[in-house]
Amino acid sequence: MKTILKNRHFVNLESLSTTEINSLIERSLAFKRGEPAPDFSDKTLVNLFFENSTRTRSSFEMAEHRLNMYLLPFETVTSSVQKGETLLDTCKTLEAIGADGLVIRHGATGYYEELLATLDIPIINAGDGSGQHPSQSLLDLMTMVETYGTVEGKVVVICGDLQHSRVARSNADILKRLGAIVYGSGPVEWYDPAMGIPHLSMDEAVEQCDILMLLRVQHERHDGTTRFDPADYHATYGLTHERMNRLKNSAIVLHPAPVNRGVEIADELVEHPRSRIFEQMKNGVFARMAILEWCFSTKSIKGDDEDDNTN
Ligand code: CP
């Protein structure tokens, strides 16, 4: 294995080999088991959240703290973003000031393309519009592997607002690459054939799945023309008590959250023993520690010089 000195960006999972992704899952689980965290006290990070967040922002902050990084405070509402400063200029400024890496959530799909062409420091994508949410995918994979040991051969049904969900897009791609059998479910008007996953009704989904991945309805990305009734949605596309009883005994339920209780999932089922929703949040810290370690480590990890990301 060679020593890698280049900066690694983490903007999607497509650009990582399956070996690298499996190594990141292994590192996430190792941190959860208590593996000591490396010391990155020489690194300064900035978290730039142009869209709201509870989990992603807080768990990146916790991961940065556990890796002993310095977190330079930044708030879009008090910055010169409010005077019209572009994303590129904000990021170039932070790089010039001495930031070693930027964690960014932004509403524009693919916002990071021009940053990758210009900046020399790692960009870590914390969600881009309806594009990708790769750190969420990694923590979801970690949660599945923690339960089953592998995702290979497992039936995963991603349910809900597929068209507007960056979580669905990230997960559908990587789950297929890792050998899972992936389906979509939910309203056909929000089904995205470009994801290349067959569609099941919610009743078919609960009977076939090993992993039921529910999605939040992304109202903020809708054009306002679709009539939406929460009770109707729950009855037709949600995880009701009756559907929960029809899941396989071994099946688990995931949701990236925030959860609309009583819409995607019945209120009391969020805390059901087969729900991994709060475990996903816990796992998010360990997954983000593994991502930051991967971005800043100068040591090679398995898969660095492989190019097996096209299968
Ligand atoms: N799952 C997720 O991205 O949650 P936040 O929007 O709260 O970060």
Confidence band of 221 (pLDDT split at 50, 70, 90): confident
Which of 8, 43, 133, 288 is flagged as catalytic? 133
Looking at residue 206, its pLDDT comes to 97
The CA distances from residue 3 to 33, 39, 98, 298, 302, in Å, are 27, 18, 24, 6, 11
- Ligand 1 neighbour 257 (Cβ under 6 A): yes
Atom from ligand 1 closest to the CA of residue 257: 1
> What is the C-alpha separation between 254 and 165, in angstroms, rounded?
15
Determine the atom of ligand 1 nearest the C-alpha atom of 284. Answer: 1
Mean pLDDT (the chain, rounded) = 93
Pairing of strands 199-200, 181-185: parallel
44 C-beta closer than 6 A to ligand 1: no
- Among residues 2, 6, 33, 83, the one annotated as catalytic is 83
- Pairing state of beta strands 252-254 and 211-214? parallel
Tell me whether residue 105 is one of the annotated catalytic residues: yes
The more confident residue out of 278 and 223 is 278
Question: Could you identify the atom of ligand 1 that is nearest to the CA of residue 105?
Answer: 8
State if residue 66 touches ligand 1 by the CB under 6 angstroms criterion: no
Residue nearest to atom 6 of ligand 1 (CA): 53
| 125, 132, 136, best to mutate for ligand 1 pocket (most atoms within 8 Å of CB) | 136
Q: Does residue 136's CB lie within 6 angstroms of at least one atom of ligand 1?
A: yes
User: Three-state DSSP class for 130?
Assistant: coil
pLDDT digits (tens, 9 = 90+) for 268-294: 999 999 999 999 999 999 999 999 999
Nearest CA-CA partner of 87 in 61, 60, 117, 58: 117
Asked whether residue 311 carries a pLDDT value surpassing 50, the answer given is no
Nearest CA to ligand 1 atom 5: 53
Q: Residue 146 pLDDT more than 90?
A: yes
16/68 Cα distance (integer angstroms): 26
What distance in Å separates the CA atoms of residue 212 and residue 105, rounded to the nearest whole number?
Answer: 26
Residue 118, phi then psi, degrees to nearest 5: -120, -40
Positive or negative: CA dihedral 146, 102, 18, 6: negative
* Helices within 74-219 (DSSP H only): 87-97, 113-118, 134-148, 166-177, 202-208
| pLDDT confidence of residue 225 | 77
Q: Which residue has the tokens 């932070």?
A: 94
pLDDT digits (tens, 9 = 90+) for 3-52: 444 569 999 999 999 999 999 999 999 999 999 999 999 999 999 999 99
Q: Which residue's CA is the closest to the ligand 1 atom numbered 1?
A: 256
Helices (H) and strands (E) in the chain, counts: 10, 9
Q: Over range 213-236, report the average pLDDT.
A: 89
Q: φ, ψ for residue 249 (rounded to 5)?
A: -60, -30
Residue tagged active-site, from 18, 44, 56, 147: 56
